[in-house]
Amino acid sequence: MTDSLSTQIELASRPQGMPELKNFRTVQIELPDLLEGEVRVRNEYISVDPYMRGRMSGAKSYIPPFELGETMGGGAVGTVIESRAAELPVGTLVSSAHGWRDIAQGQAAEFSPRPALEGVSPSLYLGLLGMPGLTAYVGLRGIAELREGDVLFVSGAAGAVGSAVGQFARLMGASRVIGSAGSEEKTELLKQKYGFDTVINYKKGPIRQQLTHAASEGIDVYFDNVGGDHLEAALDVLKPHGRVALCGAISQYNNEKPEPGPDNLGQIVMKKLKLQGFIVGDHLEYREEFETVVGEWFRQGRISYDETVVEGIEEAPRAFIELLQGGNIGKMVVKV
């Protein structure tokens, strides 16, 4: 029996506002022997994602909150190192939701086999080819119903979801792609490498004024990762019958008390807008299409991606806090 000691990161206390390192605790536990039908997996990469902030609060949400003392759940990708399940032999690359631990163990059904990717890191299954990529795809196809010729605005454009949204939208026929990000480094990268037509640095001035200027012809679709003032700005410039896919509101996650919303919701009636919140888990019917379509774009070299890689499982809390502060370009992952 090897690797029966698992290093895991638990929720130690619930954060007030921005999470701090003290909210997490690293523990080591001895795993029991495998039962029939179980596998043991050595994770290579684990995922830190904005939605996890919601689960750290005790409040009811679309997914249950983490319990105190529970290991931080989330995406992980690794290799089977011991197996009592014929369908997942030792050596298989798998992804799971087992989260922040170096060794994961459970029923084979909790792990999805993934083809090894030639020349690229398996961490892509946590990003472009995983949940964030599927989120971008579902939001554009299923929620915002992006059409040929649409002008799109996406906030949080340098993030894992946002950078996929901008590229997918262009490949789906958008005529113009506008993004927002929080540094000059990010805005330049999005324009140079990701093919955005215009990128607003929201730290340089009010997003509302900047977007009105950048999108003087209006936008058809807004993909919202940020909420708050970004949503307000988008409502101003959406064209009649515009559509908004609401995916997240990272600007609001660490508020200690609720903030007033946009002052221009009257635009929803005036311009007959549709706003729809979604989570990717409700739309897994797009998964096969996503894997086919985006897989093909990827093989054709039509998609760029970046990762921000932090090394060491015990650094996951720091990576997560950095993510919430906008310290990532592209997908933030932790290399175990």
| Residue whose CB is less far from its own copies, 88 or 136 | 136
Which residue, 97 or 279, has its beta carbon nearer to its own copies? 279
> Could you tell me the smallest distance in angstroms from the CB atom of residue 241 to its own copies?
8
Closest separation between CB of residue 237 and its own copies, Å? 13
**Of the two residues 149 and 266, which places its CB atom closer to its own copies in the complex?**
266
Give buried/exposed letters for 285-303 (b at 16+ CB in 10 A, else e). Answer: ebeeebeebbeeebeeeeb
Q: Of 276 and 304, which CB lies nearer to its own copies in the complex structure? A: 276
Task: Please report how close the Cβ of residue 214 comes to its own copies at its closest, in angstroms.
Answer: 20
Tokens encoding 51: 């939605």
Q: How far is the CB of 244 from its own copies (least distance, A)?
A: 9
| Helical (H) or strand (E) element with 276 | strand 274-277
Is the Cβ–Cβ distance between 336 and 313 less than 8 Å?
A: yes
For residue 201 the two structure tokens come to 């640095």
Least distance between its own copies and beta carbon 22 (Å): 25
Q: List contacts with its own copies (CB under 8 A).
A: 54, 61-62, 227, 231, 240, 246-249, 252, 258-279, 282
Considering beta carbons, is residue 192 or 212 the nearer one to its own copies?
212
Closest distance of CB 267 from its own copies, Å: 8
- HSE value, Cβ hemisphere, 13 Å, CA-based, for 331: 29
User: Using CB atoms within 10 A of its CB, is residue 7 exposed (0-12), middle (13-18) or buried (19+)?
Assistant: middle
Write the CA distances from 31 to 12, 28, 62, 97, 143, integer angstroms: 21, 9, 30, 18, 42
80 or 246, CB closer to its own copies? 246
CA–centroid distance for 126 within its chain: 9
Q: Which is nearer to its own copies, 102 or 224 (CB)?
A: 224
Q: How far is CA 3 from the centre of its chain?
A: 30
H or E element in which residue 54 lies: helix 52-56
What minimum distance in Å lies between the beta carbon of 249 and its own copies?
A: 5
| CB of residue 275 to its own copies, shortest distance in Å | 4
Of 201, 194, 225, residue with least CA distance to 305: 194
Beta carbon of residue 203, minimum distance to its own copies (angstroms, whole number)? 22
* Residue 112 or 276 having the CB closest to its own copies: 276
User: Is residue 274 helix, strand or coil?
Assistant: strand
Burial profile 130-153: b = 16 or more Cβ within 10 angstroms, e = fewer: bbbbbbbbbbbbbbbebeeebbbb
Nearer to its own copies, 118 or 256 (CB): 256
Phi-psi region of 103 (alpha: psi -120 to 50; beta: other; left: phi over 0): beta
With 0-12 / 13-18 / 19 or more C-beta atoms within 10 angstroms meaning exposed / middle / buried, residue 171 is middle
